[in-house]
A and B are shown apart, each in its own frame.
Chain A
Amino acid sequence: MNILKLSLRMLARDWRAGELRVLVFALVIAVGGMTTVGFFADRVQVALSRQGNQLLGADLIIFSDHPLAPHYAEEAKRRGLSISTAIKFPSMTAKGEESLLTEIKAVTEGYPLRGELRISEDFSNGTPPAERVTHIANRIPSPGTAWVDEKLMIGFSLKRGDRIEVGSSRFAVDALITQEPDYSIGFLNLRPRVLINEADLAATGLIQQGSRIGYRLLVSGDSGDVEEFRKWAEQRLMLGEKIEGIRDARPEIRSALERAEKFLSLTALASVVLAAAAAALAVRRFTQRHLDGCAVMRCLGASQDAMLRLYLYHFLTLGFVASSLGCLLGFVAQQVLTYWLSGLVEAELPWPTVWPGVHGVLTGTVLLLGFALPPLLGLRSVPALRVMRRDIGMPPQGLAGYGLGLGVLALLFLWKAGDLRLGASVIGGFIVAIAVFGVLGFLLMRMLAHIRNQAGGAWRYGLASIRRRAAASVLQAVALGLGLMALLALTLIRDDLLRNWQTSLPPDAPNHFLVNIQEDQLESLTAFFKERGMQLPKVFPMVRGRLTEINGKAIASENYADIRAKRLVEREFNLSWASEMQSDNQIVKGRWWKPEDPGEEEISLEEDIAKTIGIHVGDTLTYDIAGSVFSAKVTSLRKVNWDSFRVNFFVVTPPGVLEQYPASYVTSFYLPSTHVELTNQLVKEFPNLLVLDVAAILTQVQRMIEQVTKAVEFVFLFTLLAGVAVLYAAIVSTQDERIQEAAIFRTLGARRKQLARAWAAEFAILGGLAGFFAAAGASALGYVVAEYALNLTYTFNSWIWLIGIGAGAAGVTLAGLLGTRAALSTPPLMTLRRI
């Protein structure tokens, strides 16, 4: 207790004397940067999943092929969640003599719970969708009215107020739907859509036994409550009922979300590294400055244990307080920046959870201890003799002394990455970098010693200074190099990731799917495209079948715990055949068939689905295709790039295997918005064809990606700030030495300008060295992370060397000269008296 009090008292005095400013500054900025990332990432994560939910129209949907038992809705209401219902079914819709197969959706008040339902009163034909005046529908269709989509409007040449017939009811067309949140591009929803009020449903007479009707309960609310409700509901699901949240939704959206998560984790990791480097440097200075005090206390009979406790309390308190301050800063900073960015961040960001704060305080304190403990252990064993002989200090530590800190850092990496592989690859990168940096640093120091004799004035002095403080210089260059490396790696990986996203969604990404093409229509369709100077895009055959057996064993959804697996085994698969594999597919296991041996009963399965259902290469799958049994062996697993928006299939066989079964054809193509009349003509000429316009979905996904990009750039700004903290800590850590040095040099007749020039040379060399380390490390790290963790193709960026070394030298020189102004302006006499 006595020691604790003394420790706190000394902490307060140290703080007032300005001793701790660098350490606290470094920690506050680092934890601040980290929690800014944390808080903002937290908000972005929640916002992203909500954005994802906009595609779903809710946070959660319970689907059923029979009317849902009322207890789901009651329970959701009891938990304070918002609910709405939707009933969907296919039906013919007629206008006069014309009729079309449409998708009817009857909804209740509140629909949609998430996302925007946009409508327009402008029914002018031929207006490109982007130019149509639309507004958010804050209501659902009034009873007796219907809202239709563009396909139906064109199909029937509808005008506002026209009447359409659905079953036995007539509806007045009131609005044109331009954006519908839960309109997914699944192959079941390709028909023109009609939205009506559920109150009108019974009168249509379409709800009868045997009708193919989908019932949906839409649920939204606080993510925790929704998750709880999901758990509750999952226990009670009956056959034909299933739950979908954003995570279970479309694979391309899932992969985009997962990538965003990984990337934000990486961004947070960069701040952690900077925090560590800043803490290491600041603690080093702190211990140097406390050597004398420790020696006196040792001389007065303080035991090593007492010394350790004294400084342990010191640093625990310091870590906790500074980290808390950092959290506060992080919270305020993300608030202010979110406010600034409110115009850019299109989705309204929800409040963050407290976890980033808790993580920040814990991380800051643990990290500080990790880097402070080894020097503290050294401090406690400062020989008492130092009171008499000032040349005796702590035993030299070198990089090994930071083992504990690096260990703590490694654990933090794994925790923050939330992904063993990603975390491990980043740790591996850093460990290799540190080892290589250390060795390279000492080798370079040796080389510099030789160059020194040939260099002129200031450079010669700069080189001599670096050489004289060889260990400290290497340590600083490595710390700065690590900080810079994180920043460079971040820009590199960010660019790669963004480039990958951009190229995965090129401007001419397919925006239309043409489905339900019959075999006998292929010829006339080719002619149709030819007449318009176009080529019929590649068509893919498609056979629908339900997976019934794996290796002769019947499968049932109840045998699967995973909800996605359950869903997958319940639904019908689209099987296709091809002799050549598509370019956006990649074999991960097994082999693709050779073109010369078609007709073999083989299956190439999508990797993710195989993993979910538990299918391996060599397994025999049995499908029920229109009542017939089809069996084949899985000979390869494929990775599919769903982001390409091209037609892809989970199950592919060689040609000559599935041809006997009834097949339809599907294709996708890019149609500029100026050619919208082509789809109208297609619908008129081929009434059974389903033309799916995915432009709206693409716009939604692209908007989501843009938001992530903005968030990442914003987060990056704070990582940069943490980098500045490292630089500051590095410069201040040598300030004492510099003040003494300046005093002696000036006493010996050196001018301030001469000293400034010599120091500038030293900083430039140090910064250049750090920049060199950073460029080397970032290139390696970028390669490892991009190639192995994010599955991106990595291209080495030669600019990074120039940028790294240049920015390192310029930044460190500028900051160094600013940071050493005080040392230059301290009168030499004052310093000499103190020595």
Chain B
Amino acid sequence: MILLTDISRVFHMGDQGVRALDGVDLEIDTGEYVSIMGPSGSGKSTLLNVIGLLDQPDGGRYELDGKDVTDLSEIEKARVRREKIGFVFQSFHLVPRLTAAENIELPLILEGIPPAERKSRVDEALRGFNLQDRAAHRPSELSGGQRQRVAIARATILRPTALLADEPTGNLDHRIGAEVMVLLEGLHEAGTTLIVVTHDRELGARAQRHIAMLDGKIVSDERQGKFPGGNSLA
């Protein structure tokens, strides 16, 4: 369970301070499927970064699965990320020098899992994401959809409780994007909390819960409803 209380984050641009998050309160239950939407600069990515322990809030409190993770050390944050959170990015962020299989294997190595188990889990993931024949290919030799599947396989190989996706289909065409969403939703159905940040209203509408942000604040939070004020969004 994710519980954010009065979270704020200020960026300093030159002499000015920009409030990327301004007193955000948010509770996301385990197994929820949430979309976060809003215009550029609304703070949705910053919110995702805070939830993913990539960014440190300037104020407020963050509890993950009942534990206060607001002020964890770098080492503890790395451990929590490894164990509980998976990331899927718009630009995939695969390690270019490693093959598809090696990219998927990376979190297992960092977790210190023995080679034999690593191999079986990677093989399983490759099968699960239909990447068997792409295992030995480098990211540059894969199509966009394949890259994102590798990224998702990598994000989920340690079976995180929450999967954070930042514009997961932003770099993909419509058809491939839809395929990727089906994959992610499959993972949600299997019990993973799925949080998707997107510009795409159609994509956002697929979630069970829709959060809209503007100027660092949550301006609406609806479950299974239509996105309000959609006309104002680009």
Contacts and interface: CB of A to CB of B under 8 A. Distances in A.
B49 A385 contact: yes
Given A2-B115, A9-B102, A383-B54, A301 B110 contact: yes
A299 interface: yes
A301 B166 contact: no
Contacts of B173: none
B109 A384 contact: no
Interface in B78-113: 78-83, 87, 89, 93-98, 102, 106-107, 109-112
A6 B106 CA distance: 9
A306 B112 CA distance: 10
Interface in A277-313: 292-293, 295-306
Interface stretch (A10-18, A434-442, A612-620): A10-18
A174 to B, nearest CB: 79
Contacts of A383: 54
B95 A388 contact: no
B190 interface: no
A300 B157 CA distance: 11
Contacts of B54: 299, 383-385, 387-388
B110 A302 contact: yes
Given A300-B154, A388-B54, A10 B110 contact: no
Contacts of A298: 78
Given A2-B112, A387-B54, A388-B166, A297 B95 contact: yes
Contacts of B112: 2
A10 B95 CA distance: 10
A297 B109 CA distance: 11
A6 B111 CA distance: 13
A514 B74 CA distance: 85
Nearest to B81: A301
A296 B93 contact: yes
A299 B110 contact: no
A383 B78 CA distance: 11
A304 B74 contact: yes
Contacts of A381: 74
Most interface-central of A14, A295, A300, A306 (chain B CB within 10 A)? A300
B75 interface: yes
By DSSP majority rule, is chain A's interface helix, strand, loop, or mixed?
A: helix
Contacts of B106: 6, 297, 300
Given A385-B55, A388-B54, A300 B110 contact: yes
Interface residues of B, number: 34
A536 to B, nearest CB: 84
B98 A10 contact: yes
Contacts of B82: 300-302
A181 to B, nearest CB: 63
Nearest to B113: A2
By DSSP majority rule, is chain B's interface helix, strand, loop, or mixed?
A: helix
A424 to B, nearest CB: 41
Contacts of A9: 98, 102
Contacts of A92: none
A832 B154 CA distance: 28
Interface string B157-186: 010000000100000000000000000000
A384 B81 contact: yes
A298 B112 CA distance: 15
Contact of A301 (B79, B95, B102): B79
B45 interface: yes
A292 B80 CA distance: 21
B109 A2 contact: yes
Nearest to A383: B54
Most interface-central of B53, B74, B109 (chain A CB within 10 A)? B109
Contacts of A13: 97-98
Given A13-B97, A292-B93, A302 B49 contact: no
A302 B93 contact: no
Contact of A300 (B75, B80, B81, B97): B81
A383 B154 CA distance: 20
A829 to B, nearest CB: 17
B129 to A, nearest CB: 17
A14 B97 contact: yes
A296 to B, nearest CB: 5
A295 to B, nearest CB: 8
Contact of B78 (A2, A10, A304, A385): A304
Instruction: Bin chain A's interface residue count.
Output: 20 to 34
B140 to A, nearest CB: 10
A292 B166 CA distance: 17
A381 B48 CA distance: 21
Contacts of A296: 93-95
Contact of A388 (B45, B102, B110): B45
A403 to B, nearest CB: 23
A298 B54 CA distance: 9
B109 A387 contact: no
Contacts of A292: 93
Interface in B45-87: 45, 48-49, 52-55, 74-75, 78-83, 87
Nearest to B77: A384
A299 B49 CA distance: 10
Interface string B124-165: 000000000000000000000000000000100010000000
A385 B11 CA distance: 14
B182 to A, nearest CB: 24
A304 B166 CA distance: 24
A14 B87 CA distance: 25
A302 to B, nearest CB: 5
Contacts of A295: 93
A303 B93 contact: no
A34 B112 CA distance: 41
Contacts of A384: 53-54, 78, 81
B54 to A, nearest CB: 4
A541 to B, nearest CB: 83
Contact of A303 (B78, B102, B107, B109): B78
B102 A293 contact: no
Nearest to B151: A296
Contacts of A303: 74-75, 78-79, 110
A13 B79 CA distance: 27
A377 to B, nearest CB: 13
Contacts of B78: 298, 301-304, 384
Contact of B109 (A3, A19, A304, A385): A3
Given A383-B54, A388-B166, A301 B109 contact: no
B170 to A, nearest CB: 13
Interface string A529-552: 000000000000000000000000
Contacts of B98: 9-10, 13
Contacts of B52: 299
Interface in A41-77: none
Contacts of A306: 110
Contacts of A17: 96-97
Contacts of B75: 303-305
Interface string A114-144: 0000000000000000000000000000000
Nearest to A301: B82
B107 A293 contact: no
Contacts of A305: 75
B133 to A, nearest CB: 21
Contacts of B94: 296
Contacts of B95: 10, 293, 296-297
Given A297-B110, A300-B154, 4 more contacts: A17-B96, A299-B54, A301-B110, A302-B82
21 contacts: A6-B106, A6-B109, A10-B97, A19-B97, A293-B95, A297-B110, A299-B54, A299-B87, A299-B93, A300-B87, A300-B106, A300-B107, A302-B82, A303-B78, A303-B110, A304-B78, A384-B53, A384-B81, A385-B55, A388-B48, A388-B54
Interface of B: 45, 48-49, 52-55, 74-75, 78-83, 87, 89, 93-98, 102, 106-107, 109-112, 115, 154, 158, 166
CB-based closest 7 A-B pairs: A301-B82, A13-B97, A301-B81, A385-B54, A303-B78, A2-B109, A384-B54
